[in-house]
């Protein structure tokens, strides 16, 4: 039975995706539910799985733009049946000799002197690379080897090598949005610093119990999420956006957390963060971050944010100017925690300090509100026992340990 491999819908507004790469070889025998292809939209990267076991045949190439619902290949389930019923024959015919699994499609180049897979030969033919460059290689020439050679091209009029990587749809969309921020907003940034002593003390006391019970680390960002949603109560302009001549002041807080992935920056959104306590925020954040890094995040989980937090400190950034995530009016940047000499009650002490930065759209937020908000966040973070947990005795209860 021949089954079509159809492109699933990444979201309501998306009608076209890019076939980023095949995760299997053409005419390979694949198992049911195995990931066979990766598609990319301007919102997220998703994988396509095999509905049944069988022999896969590609009808679309990597890099092709394909419509949602269109077929990019087929699976012949009869081959899975032969493999299951007569494993010895199947192994001899398919598994141990990939050359017998596929009808050669590229006959315009001579590769008779090479040990090469059919998919690698097709790519070699399309690229017009001279097959003789692989003559001294003793291993089987695979798709990966051909692509590595293809990437080692040279700049015109130069012998210096350079890798060229095609921009993904996600990266293209991100680039467009970043340029739009510069051209369409009046972005300014205000800075402050936070003494992280109390937060570090609380984490050190309870992080092991928290991890033992929930299997998740007790991080810093959940404290910041709690602090900013409290700040929205006094400064609603921060949790707002502009649409034409209208200001939208949100009565809820959907806080996006910037997460770095292999595909680029993604911003999963913690919905209704204003209704969550610190434990609930931490567990939701861990869930979303894992999905983003594993390419399992859904479009719904990436949309609808009203405010964003980004943490350049995980990469060692001491201070930076975060860029707005439109149409939001503000974004908070966290940075590296550094021991610094500060004056406490007239005495110099060494404290773990973090610079924080609030970038904001001056069209809706004035300097007074931006400074007032970041000071409010600082006060909450420096007094988490009183401001977040409402007393030392409540910490374990809030953390659920």
What is the enclosing helix (H) or strand (E) of 247? strand 246-249
* Bridge partners of residue 195, in order along the sequence: 353
- Catalytically active residues are 362, 366
The terminus-to-terminus CA distance of the chain in angstroms comes to 54
CA separation for the pair 360, 367 (Å, rounded): 9
With 0-12 / 13-18 / 19 or more C-beta atoms within 10 angstroms meaning exposed / middle / buried, residue 182 is: exposed
CA separation for the pair 234, 142 (Å, rounded): 61
Cis, bond preceding 327 (omega within 30 deg of 0): yes
Write the DSSP string, 157-200.
T---EE---PPPHHHHHHHHHHHHHHHH--EEEEEEEEE-HHHH
Measured CA angle at 128 (ends 124, 132), to 5 deg: 70
Contact between 70 and 17 (Cβ < 8 Å): no
What is the enclosing helix (H) or strand (E) of 225? helix 221-234
CA separation for the pair 370, 366 (Å, rounded): 6
Q: Which of 108, 61, 45 is nearest to 262 (CA)?
A: 45
Q: What are the backbone dihedrals phi and psi of residue 231, each rounded to the nearest 5 degrees, phi first? A: -65, -30
CA separation for the pair 44, 41 (Å, rounded): 5
Beta-sheet strand order (sheet of 35-40): 45-49, 35-40, 16-22, 65-67
Pairing of strands 35-40, 54-58: unpaired
Sign of the torsion angle spanned by Cα atoms 245, 249, 252, 257: positive
In whole angstroms, how far apart are CA 35 and each of 5, 49, 53, 79? 11, 4, 11, 18
- Reduced 3-state DSSP string for 123-140: HHHHHCCCHHHHCCCCCC
């Amino acid at each position: 039975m021949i089954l079509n491999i159809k492109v699933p819908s990444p979201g309501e507004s998306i009608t076209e995706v890019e076939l980023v790469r095949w995760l299997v070889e053409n005419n390979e025998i694949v198992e049911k539910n195995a990931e066979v292809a990766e598609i990319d939209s301007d919102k997220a990267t998703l994988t396509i799985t095999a509905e049944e076991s069988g022999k896969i045949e590609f009808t679309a190439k990597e890099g092709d733009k394909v419509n949602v619902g269109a077929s990019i290949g087929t699976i012949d389930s009869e081959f899975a049946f032969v493999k299951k019923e007569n494993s010895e024959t199947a192994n001899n015919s398919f598994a141990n000799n990939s050359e017998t699994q596929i009808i050669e499609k590229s006959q315009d180049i001579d590769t008779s002197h090479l040990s090469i897979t059919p998919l690698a030969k097709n790519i070699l033919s399309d690229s017009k690379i001279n097959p003789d460059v692989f003559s001294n290689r003793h291993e089987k020439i695979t798709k990966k080897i051909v692509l590595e050679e293809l990437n080692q091209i040279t700049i015109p009029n130069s012998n210096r090598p350079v890798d060229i990587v095609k921009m993904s749809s996600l990266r293209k969309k991100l680039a467009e949005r970043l340029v739009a921020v510069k051209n369409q907003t009046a972005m300014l940034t205000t800075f402050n610093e936070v003494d992280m002593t109390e937060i570090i003390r609380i984490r050190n006391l309870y992080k092991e119990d928290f991890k033992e019970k929930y299997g998740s680390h007790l991080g810093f960002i959940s404290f910041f999420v709690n602090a900013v949603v409290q700040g929205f109560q006094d400064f609603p302009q921060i949790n707002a956006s502009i649409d034409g001549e209208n200001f939208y002041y949100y009565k809820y807080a959907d806080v996006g957390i910037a997460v770095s992935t292999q595909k680029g920056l993604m911003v999963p959104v913690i919905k209704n963060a204003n209704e969550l306590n610190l434990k609930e925020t931490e567990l939701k954040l861990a869930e979303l971050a894992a999905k983003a890094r594993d390419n399992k995040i859904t479009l719904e989980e990436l949309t609808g944010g009203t405010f964003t937090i980004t943490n350049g400190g995980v990469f060692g950034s001491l201070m930076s100017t975060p860029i707005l995530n439109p149409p939001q009016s503000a974004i908070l940047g966290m940075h590296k925690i550094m021991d610094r000499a500060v004056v406490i009650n007239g005495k110099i002490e060494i404290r773990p300090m973090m610079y924080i930065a609030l970038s904001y759209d001056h069209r809706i937020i004035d300097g007074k509100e931006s400074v007032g908000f970041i000071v409010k966040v600082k006060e909450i973070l420096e007094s988490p026992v009183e401001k977040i947990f409402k007393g030392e005795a409540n910490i374990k209860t809030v953390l659920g340990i």
